Amino acid sequence: MSTRTFLAGRPLLATLMLLMLSGPWPFTAPAARAYPRGGAADSLARIIPARPVVVEILSPKYSQEVEDIAVKLEAAARRNPGWFQAYTQRHARPLPYHPNLGVTKPEYQRYLDESANVPLAVTQRVTLTFKRDGSANRWTLQGWGKLAPINGTVIDLDKGTATNRRGRLDLIGTARPDMQQQAARLDWTWFATFRSAHGLVKGAASAQALVASLHMGPIGDGSQAAIYWSYRRFNNGRKMDDEFLLLRWNVAQ
């Protein structure tokens, strides 16, 4: 059975990420802004909290008009998953307008205009623990409820991997945010990216496609940090699994 995990029980963040913020598949690191591999691990280790932290789970706060447009976009993706997957592979973000998106051109422009500056609302506060394995540079994320998508994730900075029930994600480095295409529209100072993409065929829908990414880094003036997790699984162009999670916490807790 298909499983879908959306913040606040709605597909709005998922639709926003896919249409505006995720790059064409397969994923590549922004080499011009990437730091050395070792530096990525060292930088990330410094912001991992030593004690459990209270995190805020975030969701975009749209107007009712744009929420209705987002629902239409999601419905169009469900009706024509093969085309939608191939279209998102071929184009950079934001996606150019096409009638198959299921909305009019003015509606789509209205959606893009608001999405570019959408505020994020706190939907829930929960506790997240980064449990360290002795003195090793390895931590296991522990959280329940809304944190289920990342619960059990093992971040191993010596190996440069993040591993969970979705498989192994490799640390591809850290990057400064592109102001036109920030991951999850947070005010990132920089973010480390773990990424995995399997079974992808450029420009066409593959029989099986598994895409997962984990972003983590400081935001704003560095007094807060954030995690953005996303996972998608396709089978012959049909979306089978869909997970998105966006959270932040105060560094000094």
From first to last of the 253 residues of the chain, give the pLDDT tens digit.
233 333 333 444 455 555 554 443 333 333 333 333 446 778 888 899 999 999 999 987 888 898 899 889 888 887 887 788 788 778 877 889 999 999 999 999 998 888 777 778 899 999 999 999 999 999 999 999 999 999 999 999 989 999 999 889 999 887 776 544 444 567 888 888 898 866 544 444 445 667 888 999 999 888 999 999 988 776 665 556 678 899 999 998 7
Tokens of 113: 């205009």
Q: What is the largest CA-CA distance in the chain?
A: 56
Q: Which domain holds residue 171?
A: 3-250
**pLDDT value at position 139?**
97
CA dist list (Å): 210 to 25, 78, 164, 227:
11, 17, 14, 20
Helix (H, G, I), strand (E, B) or coil at 74: helix
The whole-angstrom separation of Cα 134 and Cα 80 is: 49
Q: Strand (E) positions, the chain? A: 3-5, 53-60, 120-132, 138-142, 154-156, 161-164, 167-175, 191-198, 208-219, 224-235, 238-250
Residues 231, 241 contacting (CB under 8 angstroms): yes
Tokens of 25: 């598949």
Please calculate the CA angle 120-124-126 and round it to the nearest 5 degrees: 125
Please calculate the CA angle 164-38-162 and round it to the nearest 5 degrees: 0
Please calculate the CA angle 212-108-65 and round it to the nearest 5 degrees: 100
Domain count, the chain: 1
